[in-house]
Structure 1
Amino acid sequence: MVKRRRLSAPSTADLDRLEQEFRGETSPKPAPARGLAPIAQVAAETAAEVQAASPDTRAARAKTEADAARLKAAEDQGLLMVELPVEEIDENALVRDRMALSEEEQTELRLSIATNGLRLPVEVFELETPGTDGKRYGLLSGYRRLLAVRGLLELTEAKKYTRIRAIIRERSEADAAFVSMVEENEVRQELSHFERGRIAVIAANQGAFANTEEAVNKLFATGSKAKRSKVRSFALVFEELGDMLVFPESLTEKRGLRLASALRFGAEARLREALAERAPEDAEEEWALIEPVLAAIEKTPRDASRGGRPKSKPQDYGWIDSKTVRTSSGITIRRAQDSKGHILRFEGKAVDSEIMDTLMAEIQNLLEP
């Protein structure tokens, strides 16, 4: 039979020795304040530990916290660059202002990215609801760059082209998004006259602006009054003939303004009938269908019900040559240039002091910023 060991209680001296050894092996903690809540006690202990840390440790901790704060601020301000899968970006989240891309220019851009990498990131915003096709971001700017990277991925199947550098912007109002897109193309690759008018109409129709007038004024706010007037003319061309024109982006400024002028005088039906005759092969053939209609309209006196003084019918109207135009009121306007600048000469019996005063005022308004 095993003998049981007899246990004896430790003496007071033994207890004192054990307590001293325990205190030496643990860090001292402040005595809890009377009635202090548990969470407050934890905070107090943490503060005590921070105070006990060395100056170098405290400096490193402060630097880490400051870096984290700067990183969060940069992310909130859209200054942080990230890499996103190209398949997660929806390039059609906004209707693009650019109607056609030059294959030659796209090839040049692909070669540049392949050689030097993507120097400028695209800009995107998070979609409110990710698409069923896996799209999580809408493209704000960088349409040509995104297509170029996708083209390189298709050609090379290289893994590095599966992602693209991007800046994630806050989801902004629709009008601000359209303005940002237009500004990018206006600066880097100027839009055609027709593309400007088209995007103004589309932006208004999508509810980003109250109407086309407001869209033009805000999208092209930095442009001159004359430029905005031209945009409105091409917007009218898009509204009334956009579905019929095959080569609208090839319209020159002069041709587009003539077309808009005819549309304002009710020529839409006649122009649509002319354009429906046949499918043109190029821009010049398309203009050949349009020009006879414009010439006939320009030779027709204005309807007196539209206001203004009674007018007698002169023999010819419209553009006589590249520097001379004759109005339906019988006034001939000639353009010239000398060493001091450009000259406009107004001829005809209808030209009087009142008309010249009005013309001067209109020219002043046109040239005011």
Structure 2
Amino acid sequence: MAKRRLDPPSADQLAAMDAEFRSETPERPGRGAAPIAQVAGEAAQLGSSETPAAKLNRLDADKLRDAVKSGLLIQEIPLDQIKTDDLVRDRTIIDEGELNELIAAITISGLRLPIEVYKDGQGAYQLISGYRRMLAFQSLNKAYDGGYGAIKAIVREPRDMATSFMAMVEENEIRANLSHYERGRIAVLAARQGAFPSTDDAIAKLFIAASKSKRSKVKSFAEVFECLGDVLKFPEDLTERRGLRIAAAIRHGVEDRLRDALEAGQGSSVDAEWGLLEPIIDSVEAAPKPATKMGRPKARPLPAQGNEIKLSSGVKLTCSSDSKGYFIRISGPSVDAETLDAAMQEIAHLFEAP
């Protein structure tokens, strides 16, 4: 078989072939870049740069941001970034023995329940709940030379100040009951800070789960705090009965006499302080009620009609009289001992009014 001779192309032919190739192939931008970089750039321009792995990472990041925003993530926050001065604390006395027990428990088992904070808009966190846990960590951090410099926390975004107060009170009501005085005090201060329109509204919202009787007692101790809180030396040690007697005396208009007695004497103990107040309260309780306003009318039978009130709750009030005077019979499905106790206190306030 005859062999064919292949002649190499001339220089002119090579130039023509190169020109034809260039005209058919578009020039890539960024000439000189690595081929893989060119491919990635073109893929981005076509809108297909996000790989499955990148998309998964982006979705995980979105979920993490949502969890943080919703308060579902526990974070470790340095103690020096947390302040406690935005909200007035409801607890006025910290039991040293209970605090030491908490410190010991944290040392052995760590912090089981995180505190709650919110951002104050100035780069710091403000404490909502967990005041005793904060104190325990501060004590441990000092004892162990910085070993407890950060604490586990949940960052909340409270809707308003009222929500923050409610969270704080709710935690202490569940974990360690506040005294009657502490309840009344925080209701007054929350109203003064503008979280609630009035003290009565603060009591209704902060202690929404409490019975009517309990809220009535909180109201009485709120009056004690408003009138005598700055001169009482042992207010948290007041018993329920003593506090209610003081509140009743205040309603009789002897606030100035009670203040004068406290400012002049200042007892060295809760009993000594009560000794300054009791004579004034006894005199108020022993005084005859003003006959002009609250004198009992002559006994007479009530009319047959108009002596019964039916409420929407199903409770029925029936008023009647006998040879001893008037009485009200209360009946219905929601009547219980606590409700009657609250009703008795309200009636007592009515007839004690000067």
Query: SS of the counterpart of 2:88?
Result: coil
Identical aligned residues as a percent: 43
Equivalent position amino acid for 1:46 in 2: G
Q: CA deviation at 1:270?
A: 1.9
Aligned to 1:88: 81
After TM superposition, give the deviation of residue 46 of structure 1 in Å.
3.0
RMSD (Å), alpha carbons: 3.3
Residue 218 of structure 1 deviates from its aligned partner by 0.6
SS in structure 1 at match of 2:46:
helix
Please show how residues 228-307 of structure 1 align to structure 2 within 5 Å: 228-307=215-294
Query: Judging changes above 3 Å, is the alpha-carbon distance between structure 1 residues 108 and 302 closer, same or farther for their aligned structure 2 residues?
Result: same
- 1:109-148 residue CA offsets vs partner (Å, 9 max, x unmatched): 1111122111111111111335xxxxx1111111111111
| Secondary structure, counterpart of 2:116 in structure 1 | strand
Report the TM-score, using the length of structure 1 for normalisation. 0.72
Q: Name the residue aligned to 1:11.
A: 15
1: CA distance, partners of 2:258 / 2:323: 31
Distance 1:308 1:195, change over 3 A: farther
- Report the residue type matching 1:197 in the other structure: G
Alignment partners' CA distance in 1, 2:265 and 2:160:
42
**One of 68, 75, 82 as aligned partner of 1:75:** 68
Letter in 2 for 1:147: L
The one-character-per-residue Cα deviations of 1:250-297 (angstroms, maximum 9, x if unpaired) are 111111111111111112122122223322121111112222211111
**Superposition deviation, residue 15 in structure 1:** 6.3
Report if aligned partners of 1:233, 1:257 keep a CA contact under 8 Å in 2: yes
Distance 1:351 1:227, change over 3 A: farther
Equivalent residue pairs, number: 298
Partner of 2:179: 192
Other structure's SS at 2:75 match: strand
Q: Structure 1 pair 218/350, CA: closer, same or farther in 2 (3 Å)?
A: farther
Q: Hey, what's the Cα distance between the residues in 2 that align with 1:106 and 1:15?
A: 88
1:5 equivalent in structure 2? none
Structure 2 portions without partners, runs of 5+:
1-10, 29-33, 299-321, 343-354
Rate the CA distance shift 1:306–1:190 in 2: closer, same or farther, 3 A. Answer: farther
Uncovered stretches (5+) of structure 1, i.e. residues with no partner: 1-7, 31-38, 51-56, 131-135, 312-348
**Normalised TM-score (structure 2):** 0.75
Match of 2:205 in 1: 218
Q: Which residue pairs with 1:336 in the alignment?
A: none
The equivalent of 2:319 in structure 1 is none
Q: For residues 125-204 of structure 1, what are the structure 2 equivalents within 5 Å?
A: 125-130=118-123, 136-157=124-145, 159-204=146-191
Q: Aligned partners of 1:43, 1:303: CA distance in 2, in Å?
A: 91
Shift of 1:12: 4.2
CA contact (8 A) 2:181 2:222 kept: yes
Q: Partners of 2:255 and 2:184 in 1: how far apart?
A: 17
Q: Which amino acid aligns with 1:286?
A: E
Q: 1:76 to 1:291 in 2, by over 3 A?
A: same
